[in-house]
Chains A and B, each alone.
Chain A
């Protein structure tokens, strides 16, 4: 508990210092609980998520950083490796390939990379995965783009 707190505090300071370095990621710690974080990540360019801003919720366990944080999308997203209803993410580093070498910030980067490079062979959203697996890239992209517009873009734009 003490160790995880100390580590998270270091990450907090690092995030403040590096804000300008990673303009695509805005990571914020809950004011009253250092084990709860949220992030806003920009959809990578040249993907159907471009132009969207996606909110992620982090729940950090007491065993952190020996155990991974739990992360899910709060913003609806159509992606083979994200559960359409719960926002749960299928990403190895959040499961068995986790190591303390990762930080909350680098997890955000990995999630952005996953958005740009979906892995349809281990889908959490089978409809999305099946479109890609059957080679219907256009179908996948238009669905993903539609949900980006509906859920991840401000209404004004």
Chain B
């Protein structure tokens, strides 16, 4: 059993070893497919522990995580508690940015019954569809994902036959057959935007991976489970015209004494911005994500 785990840990490296090294005879029958299967099993076990999207929790649950940790982090969480009421965790499966974005966005539309936002975003979605077609993607590869997201947008508006409750929204975002499809929709939109504006994104991508723009999209945007960076966030925010606030919780501190928590607002380049929260204030993001190195969760402002 232990040898199996070792194989999974080292991924591809050991898969070539299993042929090279006749000493490990039983590995000869243990191919990449078995490794993939085992990986899926591990993911399924993980899934039982943390749902794709968790329940709302108070920020004190966040503080509890760092009880014996860095005092800077605890100080920062105190600052966060002044501004934010709650946190909603997402599973750390490499899709957490897209998943947080999905839930936060749909929940916003549901709570504000923001039909205007749906009307605003639809042309942008069609633009993304055209972009993918222009880039040579076959419709059949992405259309199911687009259709499923548009369906979710319709469902969160009340008073229709298809309307769903908030409880149902949570259930759906935990249902792989819906949740992963929406994540994949965002991955397609992000990839299309990056490639359509390749010249703009190229220097950022070179800074990250030293590959071509197309290669970056193929290997780091489109595959499920690939983590998101500022390039992904910028592209998604621009493509859909949705501002996103990211609050950074890390160990950095400033010399001036008092602890402060940094945030960065990703503001789309396009002109027509959605309304912030349920008020008429524009240009303030209604999506707020908490970033801790390697992971995104959802934050709820007070």
A residues apposed to B, CB below 8 Å: 3, 6-7, 10-11, 14, 65-67, 70, 83, 86, 88, 90, 92, 94-103, 122-126
Residues of chain B within 8 A (CB-CB) of A86 are: 31
Given contacts A95-B12, A124-B16, contact A70 B33 (CB under 8 A): yes
Q: Which residues of B contact A67 (CB under 8 A)?
A: 40
Bound complex: CA A17 to CA B177 (Å)? 29
A86–B28 CA distance with the chains assembled, in angstroms? 10
In the assembly, what is the distance between CA of A14 and CA of B141, in Å?
Answer: 11
Alpha-carbon distance between A124 and B17 when the two chains are bound, in angstroms? 9
With A124-B15, A124-B16 already in contact, 8 other A-B pairs whose C-beta atoms are closer than 8 Å: A3-B181, A11-B140, A66-B181, A99-B187, A99-B223, A101-B142, A101-B188, A101-B222
Q: Are A66 and B224 in contact (CB under 8 A)?
A: yes
Q: Is B36 an interface residue (CB 8 A)?
A: yes
Give Cα A122 to B221, complex, Å: 23
Q: A122-B16, A124-B19 known; A100 and B177 CB under 8 Å?
A: no
Q: Could you say which residues of chain B place their CB within 8 Å of the CB of A122?
A: 12, 16
CA gap between A137 and B267 in the complex, in Å: 54
A10 touches B140 (CB 8 A): yes
| B180 vs chain A, min Cβ distance (A) | 6
Query: Residue B265 at the A interface, CB < 8 A?
Result: no
Nearest chain A residue, comparing its CB with the CB of B222: A99
Chain B interface size, as a band, is: 20 to 34
A100 touches B31 (CB 8 A): no
Looking at chain A's contact residues, the main secondary structure is loop
Q: Give 13 A-B contacts (CB < 8 Å), ordered by A residue.
A: A3-B144, A3-B177, A7-B140, A65-B141, A66-B184, A86-B31, A88-B32, A90-B16, A95-B36, A97-B219, A100-B142, A124-B19, A126-B20
6 closest A-B pairs by CB = A99-B222, A10-B140, A99-B223, A88-B31, A101-B141, A97-B219
Partner of A123, one of B16, B137, B223: B16
> Contacts A123-B16, A124-B16: A96 and B223 contacting too (C-beta < 8 A)?
yes
Chain B min CB distance to A7 (Å): 6
Residues of A within 8 A of B144 (CB): 3, 6-7
Q: Are B19 and A98 in contact (CB under 8 A)?
A: no
Do B224 and A101 have beta carbons less than 8 Å apart? no
Residue from the list B19, B31, B140, B224 in contact with A99, Cβ < 8 A: B224
Q: Is the CB of A14 within 8 A of B140?
A: yes
> Are the CB atoms of A95 and B16 closer together than 8 Å?
no
Residues on B with C-beta less than 8 A from A97 are 218-219, 223
Q: How far is the CA of A67 from the CA of B225 in the complex (A)?
A: 11
Which A residues are in CB contact (< 8 Å) with B191? Answer: 101
With contact pairs A7-B144, A66-B184, A124-B19 given, residues A103 and B222 touching in the complex (Cβ less than 8 Å): no
Q: Is B145 an interface residue (CB 8 A)?
A: yes
* Interface pair A102/B141, CB less than 8 Å apart: yes
